[in-house]
Every structure is written in C-alpha cells, then in structure tokens.
Structure 1
Amino acid sequence: MIKINTKTKIKTLIVLIGILIVFNIFLYELNKVITPALLNIADEEIKKRTVDILNKTILEEYSNKFDYDKVIRIEKDSEGNIIMLRADTLKMNQIACDVAIRSQEKLKNSGNIYIKIPIGYIFKNNIISNFGPKVTIKANPIGSIDTEYSSKFQSQGINQTKHSIYINVKTSVRVIFPMNTNRIEVKTQIPLAETVIVGKVPDTALQFDLKNAGFDLP
C-alpha cells in the first residue's frame, strides 16, 4: 500500500508539473501575441489624447499672440520689388516658449491617462471586441516639450505666392503596461498663419529659414 501511494504521488506530482509547464508556455505565447497588439492600440489612443491637449494649448496661445504682419516683415526696394522676408525670431521664440510651458502644465494637470482595453479588442471584430477581461494601461507625460517653426511657399498665380507658417510640437509619453513599459514620441503640427504675397518673390526669400526659431523645454 505504501509503495502504491508513493508511486501515485510521484505520478500526480509529475502531471501537475507538466500542466504547470504547459500553462506557463501558453501564457508566454499568449503574452507574445497580446502584448504587442494591446501596446499598439494603447499607443494610438494615448497619442490622440496627448495631441488633443497640445492642439488646444497651441490654439489658445497663438490665437491671441501670433500676427503674421507683426512677426514677418516684407522688405522691398525703391521700386516696390520684394527683396527679403525677415522674421522676428525673438517674438516667435517668446510665443514658442509660452506654448511649451503651457503645454507642459496642461499635460501635468491632466494627470496620468488610463485606458481599459478588453482582450477581445485585439481581434478587431465588432462582435467580440467587448468580450474578455479588460487590461488597464497607464500613461504619463515625461515632461520634455520641443517647439519648432516651419514654413512653406506655394505659387498662387502670376506674381502671387502663398506663405504658410506652422508650429511643430513634440513631446514624449511613457506608456506603462502590466508586463512592459514603452516610451512613445508624440508630434503635432498646427498652421499658424497664411498670407498671399503680391509681387515677385526672389529665390533668396523662398529660402526663408526658421531653424533658429522655436523653444525646447527640457
């Protein structure tokens, strides 16, 4: 009787160990499939929410402070021909600084972003998308804000050129997953001003450089 019980216990232990190993392998393989899918979904959702905060802040700041005629001067010669476009980089940097500071404040005040995603959502099927346990993913802003201006010229007809100025804002967000941590870069671009310049614009003006205009908030 004692020998039979001992053998039975050994067999039971082996079976349990085997089940445990198979279960761990299953979880490992499942995690390899689910984790990347959930992270991709979370990254996109968090980017959308972060961009929304940045865009609102940019529009609030620039709608009151940015005036094309005040930050861009069009210089002409005695005959009225355009010879140069000159940017007031000091004014533009000041506004960019305000945007960076306000954006950082808004992101911090918004606190951590929490997203709950049902496991079924990874299959992208409307019928089963809400089924299964929900995985909570957290994201928090890292703090760095980079702002940079860009400019584009487009011909609008004979001796007419449309000049557009954009603000590009970049920040980083840390995405915290139950079994992983990811850092994503979030970018957004907002058009600030558009104006049609009447007159022939020389190539020197078309090489209008705004690389030194902007602000980096570490």
Structure 2
Amino acid sequence: MSEVIRRENQEKEARRAQWATEVEEHERNMSEVIRRENQEKEARRAQWAREVEQHNRDIEERQRREKEEHQRLNIHWTDPESHPCITYGTREYTARLVNVPGDYNRRVEACMAIPIQIHGVEYKANWCEDHGPSNLIGHWKVDQHEPECTSYWDSYKDLGCASHGSGQRRIEHYLANVPSGGDWDEFCATTPASFRGMHFMGAQLCFHKNLGMYGQWVIGDESCN
C-alpha cells in the first residue's frame, strides 16, 4: 500500500507540475498576444492621428486658397437686411453675394464660407439660396445683441397641486414682450424661465388666454402628496 500511495503522490506531483508549466506557458502566450494587440492598436491610433492631421491640413489649405480666390474676385456681401425675430433672442438676416462670376461653379461654397459682420461680429451663413450668379442669398440666425427679440415671463402664479396625492404642483406665467410679428407659440416654447430654484428652457405647456400667451409648468412637490 505504501508503494501505491507513493506512486499516486508522484503522479499527482507530476500532474501539478505539468499543469503549472502549461499555465505558465499559457500566460506567456497571452502576454505576447496582448503585447502584439497593443502594438497594433498604437500603430492604428498613430496612423489615424496622421490621417486626421493631414486631412485638417488639406482643409486649411483649401480654405486658404478659396479665401484668396474670393478676395481676388472681390466676392462680398451687400444689401444686408434684418427680418422679424424668429425665436427667443434670435433674428433672421439676409444679404446678397455679389461679384460672383457667371462660370464660377462653387457659388454655394463661397456663400457658406464668406463671413458677414452683424453687430460687429462675424457670422457665416446658416444656409444659402442659389438663384444664379447675381442672385445668391445668404441667411443668418443671429442670437446675440438682439434685445428686441427677448421676451420674458411675468405674473408668476401658483395654481396649487395638480390633484390630491399627485405630488405635483402647477405654475403659470404670462409671456411678456413678444416681438411684433413673432410666433407666440415659438417664443413661449423657447423663453427661459427660473423659479423655485429650477431653470427651464421654455414652458412645458403654452396656451392663449385673454388675448395673451401663457406658459404652464408641472413640478414635483412633496407637499402635494
């Protein structure tokens, strides 16, 4: 029996040693695989970074050449015109691009690339209408320095709990200083409001009442539970 036990122990030790050797070999192989994968990832990242850098250089060079071409041709904006306010703090402007040669095939690109000064700030067109070389119209949405487009909420009113046990309270405001010609619903939805330590980008619900526009909010309130 002692000899049998001794042989069994030897076999167990041999299997443990073999298993340890296999584990060590597996770990070495995995380390090598991970090392190669990391090298490949780094190589791909470096290649991608070089491609992005080259792409950006190409864009900058193309923009530089186009700018020089626009200046040489004296392509510029004329007849700037302001339009009614289109949303909170924002007015639309248009202008016409002139000196565009009849055979110039990048009219829209020029329209989008050449900035215009409005209130002393340079803007690039949001979109363009191409009706031919002498009728290229740019459109801008200007959301700075437009106080006449700034509506505000007035006459805060607490309407009480939405219903018993709802955990919600209703708040109402009157929308003041809506610009002439402005879309009341649009201004109601985009005029910021702050109350009870909360800030909203516009009313949750808009409705007309007594020849005016009102906004309403439903907020959480534990006192309404």
* TM-score scaled by length of structure 1: 0.30
Larger Rg: 2
Q: Which has the higher helix share?
A: 1
Q: Relative contact order, CA 8 A, sep 6+: which one is greater?
A: 1
* TM-score scaled by length of structure 2: 0.29
